[in-house]
Structure 1
Amino acid sequence: MSKTKTKITVLEGAEMTADGLSYNGAILSPVVEKCEGCERAVPFEDQKFCPSYAQPATKWKHGVCNFATHVRATVDKEGKVKVNPLKASKRAARGR
């Protein structure tokens, strides 16, 4: 059986309220500028909303949103993986 991704094209049952867009019991905020180009953003009336996360600005606060389909993970400039310094010192003490 093949798994297919389903894309939400319409926010069925959504209502615009004074607080924001009410959808499935949650109040959705409009997407932020960093979300432009994401496949998850769905237009509703004259704005775009993310059905995956209610507060898109919060997801971008500490870095890249993990739901973003238009952003790829970046590798360190040197191509190295960051290692926990505590674990590195223990490995060095064991002679690895």
Structure 2
Amino acid sequence: MKCITIKKGVDCAFMSSNGCSYDGGECYPIVEKCEGCQRVREFEGKIYCNSYPDPAAKWDHGACNFATHIQATVDKSGQVKINPLKASKRAARGR
């Protein structure tokens, strides 16, 4: 549905027939870490994320998975880190 509150006319997954269904019924402006991302857009003088209504929450537990301006870090040893639970299941199947 199209947003009718802050980002008027933008397709938003959080819009319902009753308005914005996100916490508080509104989108929140970007945080400093979002500067330089290609997903930010300006609406009514403030800058918002086009993909997520609360950008600060995306950065709480590390890097935002929507961020286009950062690169994923590689382990220093060059090896891929494997989930131990998945590794044990693979070993049990004989892979």
Residue deviations 1:19-71 (CA, integer Å, cap 9, x gap): xx365433110000010001110012322001210000111111111111111
Instruction: Tell me the distance in 1 between the aligned counterparts of 2:70 and 2:83.
Output: 26
Structure 2 letter corresponding to 1:49: Y
1:91 paired with 2:95, answer no
SS in 1 for 2:33: helix
- The CA RMSD measured in Å over matched residues stands at 2.8
Query: Does the 8 A contact of 1:28 with 1:51 survive in 2?
Result: no
Paired positions, count: 78
- Taking a change above 3 Å as real, the CA distance of residues 91 and 22 of structure 1, as seen in their structure-2 partners, is same
Instruction: Tell me the distance in 2 between the aligned counterparts of 1:60 and 1:66.
Output: 9
Q: How does 1:1-96 map to 2 (within 5 A)?
A: 15=5, 21=6, 23=8, 24=15, 25-26=19-20, 27-86=26-85, 87=87, 91=91
SS in 2 for 1:42: strand
Instruction: Tell me the distance in 2 between the aligned counterparts of 1:74 and 1:43.
Output: 29
Query: Does the 8 A contact of 2:7 with 2:43 survive in 1?
Result: no
Structure 2 letter corresponding to 1:51: N
Unaligned stretches of 5+ residues in structure 2: 9-14, 21-25
Bigger helix fraction? 2
Query: Does the 8 A contact of 2:37 with 2:69 survive in 1?
Result: yes
Choose 1 or 2 for highest CA Rg. 1
Instruction: Tell me the distance in 1 between the aligned counterparts of 2:77 and 2:38.
Output: 31
Q: What's the % identity of the aligned pairs?
A: 51
TM-score (norm. length: structure 1)? 0.63
